[in-house]
Amino acid sequence: MTISPGLVRGGTLPPEARARLRTLLRGWVVVLALMVSTDVLVAWTDRAPQAYLAAFLVITGISFVARWSTFTVLIGYIVVRYAAVGDGTYTAWLLAACAVAFAAWRYSERVNERQRRRHAEIEHLATHDELTGLPVRSRLRTVATELVPEVTTSLTLALVDLDRFVEISRTLGRDLGDDVIVEIATRIARAVRPQDVVARLGPSQFAILLPDVTLPFARSIVEAVRRQVTTTMCLGGVDVDVEANVGIAQWSTPPPGTPAVAPARVVGDLLRQAEIALHEAESQLAPAAVYDVAVEVHSADRLELLAELREAIDTRSLALRYQPVLDLEGSHVRSVEALVHWQHPTRGLLAPREFLPIAEATALNGPLTDLVLDLALAQSAVLSATGRAVEISVNVSPRTLLTTGFAAHVLDALERHAVSPAMLRLEITESGLHTDPFGARAVLQRLSDHGVKVSIDDFGAGYSSLTHLRDLPVDELKIDQGFVTGLATTAAESTGGDPMVVRAAALLGHTLGMTVVAKGVETSATVETVKLLGCDCAQGFFLARPMTPERLMTYLGPQTARFFTPRGRS
């Protein structure tokens, strides 16, 4: 769990041992210097009384600065040389000097020990977590920086983030929540090797530093940690289940002859890369992920795209396309989903999947959502004014939903555009609800009380508590397209999808009083199949592609059946 102070790596002493050696050598140099100076003084004064007084002062003075071993050697030398040998005329002087010096030394040692203990306590509190006793981020950086030049093959960092800890803490209370953290810390320490370092970086985040391991071996350690963490624990008579996501990053020592990289930079890169891998694991609903430069938000190419996206938001250069959701029975448009597109000056038209992940991983997520909401409500006002009123749905990330003041901001936007709350639908992904289900429910309930409608998007791709799903003010469930695309009326004709999941989701949605929408409908056979499986509505390229506001105005003309007409495929 921690690095042993006496551990020697690469043939060099650790910093603590080197410091002790320097102190010892310094003490012996002082003793030798005082021995020589005492001999010179006594010889110069021809063994006069003042020489022994000088020895008295030397012994007393050295008692305040020398370690016990060097102190006793100095006393022994002076006593033997000037008291035990010779006529012993001034033996009493030297014995008195030794007694006073010994008392002074004992007193100074007690004072120094108290100061050392107090300093150690202050340093420990500053570098270790008070609850678990584990190192904090600053201490982890220090230890990792010291390890970089000492490892022989690699240094691996794993970040462990606990799912639903906020929910657990709120449900069980602060004290039991602390007990959960202490138990998790103990389990992680039990699962790693003695030379590995475990630290606590945040309320629900831990770090594991693994020196000199291969990536497969690091994965095996991480899996052992996950097994320990996810095992049910009983605290206060309550069974607690904890899930965890892990992000892994590894730095390999450069080949001989390669310019060395500053250890502090290596550690900074490791922390950043592990954070990126952790975010990737959470977004993909995977238990663990290894850092991959291809998904890094802060690569040079993505940094450039991020700056351009910030400018596009500031200048309102983004545009919305609208994809209809069609009723499978009445053949009418139930709603339209607002999808943001970006006409990039050099890259062409960028679909949401090409830039939304960058925004969601940065502070641009909030401003982007604000812009989409503003454009969608402006379009809704135009549609209502021209007799084409229809619900417009806007996607909201969990991060934005839980932002302080989000509900008030939405209601202000509705009032500013003079749009009825019933014309706005917010789509929240199922996987996003487990971040803070209680906080999400409070925000959504306030909006629902004012008439705003709520959908669960991509249902089946994540996991959520049925209790939370039942308690949320949701009236629509949209099945993830991964279970829909490729479905046909017979198994032989199907090229994908999962009819059992679609049927179960439709049954669940209807049981909870929700309208069920099948996403990713791309063939007429899929339309018929999802209808037979119990879905109420459908959305997909076969029915209608995302369209510009002008095309939407034309599309929403006479409300006629348009499942399979060319106009729905623009």
Parse the chain into domains and list their residue ranges.
15-127, 137-295, 323-337+363-557
Judged by DSSP in three states, 15 sits in: helix
Number of alpha carbons in the 13 Å side-chain half-sphere of residue 57: 9
Q: Which residues pair with 357 in a beta bridge?
A: none
In this prediction, residue 562 carries a pLDDT of 40
In this prediction, residue 24 carries a pLDDT of 63
* More confident call, 289 vs 33: 289
Give the DSSP letter string of 259-323: PPPPHHHHHHHHHHHHHHHHHHHHHTT-SEEE--GGG-TTSHHHHHHHHHHHHHHHTT-EEEEEE
Token pair of 13 as six digits: 């002493």
Please enumerate in sequence order all residues whose Cβ is within 8 A of that of 269, keeping only pairs 6 or more positions apart, or say none: 249, 251
Q: What is the mean pLDDT of residues 448-452?
A: 96
In this structure, how many other beta carbons lie within 10 angstroms of the beta carbon of residue 431? 20
CA 180/CA 232 separation, integer angstroms: 11
Of 352, 347, 264, 326, nearest to 521 (Cα)? Answer: 326
120 confidence band (pLDDT: 50, 70, 90):
confident
pLDDT at residue 16 above 60?
yes
- Kindly tell me the burial class for residue 341, based on how many C-beta atoms sit within 10 Å of its own C-beta (0-12, 13-18, 19 or more): middle
169 confidence band (pLDDT: 50, 70, 90):
confident
Instruction: Convert 378-395 to b/e letters by CB count within 10 Å (16 or more is b).
Output: bbbbebbeeebbbbbbbb
Please enumerate in sequence order all residues whose Cβ is within 8 A of that of 202, keeping only pairs 6 or more positions apart, or say none: none
410 confidence band (pLDDT: 50, 70, 90):
very high
419 phi/psi in degrees, rounded to 5? -110, 135
* Dihedral angle sign, alpha carbons of residues 187, 189, 193, 194: negative
- Kindly tell me the burial class for residue 260, based on how many C-beta atoms sit within 10 Å of its own C-beta (0-12, 13-18, 19 or more): exposed
In this prediction, residue 260 carries a pLDDT of 78
In this prediction, residue 154 carries a pLDDT of 93
In this prediction, residue 432 carries a pLDDT of 64
| pLDDT above 70 coverage of the chain, percent | 75
pLDDT tens-digit profile of 76-85? Answer: 666 666 554 4
| Pairing, β 154-162 against β 515-519 | unpaired
Please enumerate in sequence order all residues whose Cβ is within 8 A of that of 187, keeping only pairs 6 or more positions apart, or say none: 225, 228, 229, 231
* More confident call, 35 vs 488: 488
pTM reported for the whole predicted model: 0.56
321 confidence band (pLDDT: 50, 70, 90):
very high
pLDDT tens-digit profile of 231-289? Answer: 888 876 777 778 899 999 999 988 887 777 889 999 999 998 998 888 888 776 778 99
Count helices and strands in the chain by DSSP H and E runs: 20, 16
| pLDDT above 90 coverage of the chain, percent | 43
Indicate the DSSP class of residue 362.
Answer: S
Range with the lowest mean pLDDT among 91-100, 151-160, 203-212, 396-405? 91-100
Give the DSSP letter string of 324-349: EEEETTT-SEEEEEEEEEEEETTTEE
pLDDT at residue 506 above 90?
yes
| Pairing, β 288-290 against β 244-252 | parallel
In this prediction, residue 32 carries a pLDDT of 67
Instruction: Convert 432-469 to b/e letters by CB count within 10 Å (16 or more is b).
Output: bbbbbbeebbebbebbbeeebbbbbbbbbbbebeeeeb
**Helical (H) or strand (E) element with 246:** strand 244-252
Judged by DSSP in three states, 201 sits in: strand
Q: Structurally, what CATH architecture does the domain formed by 323-337+363-557 represent?
A: Alpha-Beta Barrel (3.20)
pLDDT at residue 482 above 90?
no
CATH 3.30.70.270 is the classification of domain 137-295: yes
429 Rama class: left (phi>0) / alpha (psi -120 to 50) / beta: beta
CA 460/CA 481 separation, integer angstroms: 9
Please enumerate in sequence order all residues whose Cβ is within 8 A of that of 69, keeping only pairs 6 or more positions apart, or say none: 27
